[in-house]
Structure 1
Amino acid sequence: MLQRIQTIYLFLATLISGVLIFFVSLWYTEAGNPVFVEKVLIALGLFLASSVLSFISIFLFKNRKLQFVLGRINILLNFFLLGVFVYWSLTVPGEMEISEKGIGMFVPVLSIVFLVLANKAIKKDEDLVKSADRLR
């Protein structure tokens, strides 16, 4: 059943992690040049892994438990990515590399929000199915 609300949330998380990151900069250098995700391979790999997990979760609607677990793993992956960004922005000595943070550093936060909303809806569906099974 692809017409559930969690499908929309997972699709938005897929778009944010897989498409939006190529259009927003992660940070700006001292010279004012934007640094995009293509130049930072670790961030690119983590963003694409998050996008793939969200996309796979969309089609696991028959196995809600696995869909819920993949959502949690994806949330942890995005928290790790957010932690990497915070580490990079705080440990660079003397403003050598990251002069000004871009909106791209906050993309994992948006993805986490949509993944939490999707997991909430998946849990609600699972509880509904369990309550219907009790009535039989």
Structure 2
Amino acid sequence: MIQRIQTVYLILTFLAVGVLPFIFPLWTLSDGKDYFFMQNQFYVILFGLSTAITIYSIISFKKRQTQFVANRLNIVLNLILLGLFVYHSLNLSGETLVVSEKGIGMFLPILAIISLVLANKAIKKDEDLVKSVDRLR
């Protein structure tokens, strides 16, 4: 399981959506306080769902097609999360004098999407290899 490259990519995804959001704030408010994802219930649900799908994908390493579909679902979920972050950052009103700073936490879904795409590429490569060996039998 761990010797496959897609598992390494999925562990990176797990770190990006399951661990790093607790460390890095999404943005810093104008009063200097950090805004973490835990302050919004919808973000908690989306990050939790993405983490659960990633864990399921890591566990189902024997079923490559299921793993591939779960990763695609996770990519869509992270795109929705990224879209919500962009929408929220563009709709911050009342910041005429003091502008809030965007944190690195806003870019964690991008890291997750990149590693999920690389994992899917490796899964497809494994699937093609298995199909070519089956053809030889």
Short-chain TM bin: over 0.9
Identify the residue that residue 3 of structure 1 maps to in structure 2. Answer: 3
1:54 aligns with 2:54: yes
Distance in 2 (alpha carbons) for counterparts of 1:95 and 1:60: 46
Distance in 2 (alpha carbons) for counterparts of 1:21 and 1:44: 10
Letter in 1 for 2:126: D
Offset of 1:56 from its aligned partner? Answer: 0.8
8 Å CA contact 1:26, 1:36 repeated in 2: yes
Identify the residue that residue 29 of structure 1 maps to in structure 2. Answer: 29
Q: With structure 2 as the length reference, what TM-score do the two structures score?
A: 0.93
Note the 1:1-136 alignment, pairs <5 A: 1-95=1-95, 99-136=100-137
Offset of 1:86 from its aligned partner? Answer: 0.4
Distance in 2 (alpha carbons) for counterparts of 1:20 and 1:44: 13
Distance in 1 (alpha carbons) for counterparts of 2:104 and 2:31: 18
Distance in 1 (alpha carbons) for counterparts of 2:36 and 2:112: 18
Give the 4+ runs in structure 1 shifted more than 3 A: none
Offset of 1:93 from its aligned partner? Answer: 2.2
Offset of 1:47 from its aligned partner? Answer: 1.1
Q: With structure 1 as the length reference, what TM-score do the two structures score?
A: 0.94
Letter in 1 for 2:71: G
Offset of 1:78 from its aligned partner? Answer: 0.3
8 Å CA contact 1:2, 1:58 repeated in 2: no
Offset of 1:94 from its aligned partner? Answer: 2.6
8 Å CA contact 1:28, 1:35 repeated in 2: yes
Aligned residues: 135
Offset of 1:99 from its aligned partner? Answer: 1.7
Distance in 1 (alpha carbons) for counterparts of 2:109 and 2:95: 23
Letter in 2 for 1:30: S
Distance in 2 (alpha carbons) for counterparts of 1:65 and 1:104: 31
Distance in 1 (alpha carbons) for counterparts of 2:88 and 2:95: 11
8 Å CA contact 1:2, 1:61 repeated in 2: no
Q: Which runs of 5+ in 2 are unaligned?
A: none
